[in-house]
Structure 1
Amino acid sequence: MGRKGYWPGGEVIGRPSEVLMEHLYVSPFYEEDVVGLVRAIGPERVLFGSDYPHPEGVAHAIEWVNKLDGLDDREIRMIMRGNAARLLGIED
């Protein structure tokens, strides 16, 4: 698909890394370094998620907040609710 080839949905404008960051959201596993991820990609790109009863989920979703030690209240609210609300078009 060369630069002048056919692009389903239209030609991609911009650097691939910039385009990726416009569309990338991550819902990390509980065991991961969530604060490190937030520092790497920003709190606006991280989403709370729990896949309970799957092994990677937590039985009590509020436990997930424990992984956010070191983040400020604004960042925690973004991750736990605000980012998903924004993506779904729900008033935060």
Structure 2
Amino acid sequence: MSFFKTLRKGLKGAISAANADRYQINQVQIKCVHCGHDHFDAGEAQLNTAGATFVGFDWANRSASVFVCKQCSYIMWFANSAKKII
């Protein structure tokens, strides 16, 4: 990512902190277990296993939903996918 794209992304995050993303899993809104904040950056991470990695089948492993609290940066992992709250 270029310097300007990174800068724009950082500024966009700082300016739109009030419009940050909120999510729910199984009809329950996600809140940070550390600070109670409810705005997160979301992503996915692969749940690698030693056996699949050993034989080169990492792509076959499941993925997890990952949420980073925008206030304290605590990271939470969920096996189920999340739904964005509008």
When normalised by structure 2's length, the TM-score is: 0.21
Higher RCO structure, 1 or 2 (CA under 8 Å, sep 6+): 2
Larger radius of gyration: 1
Q: Is the strand fraction higher in 1 or 2?
A: 2
TM-score when normalising by structure 1: 0.21
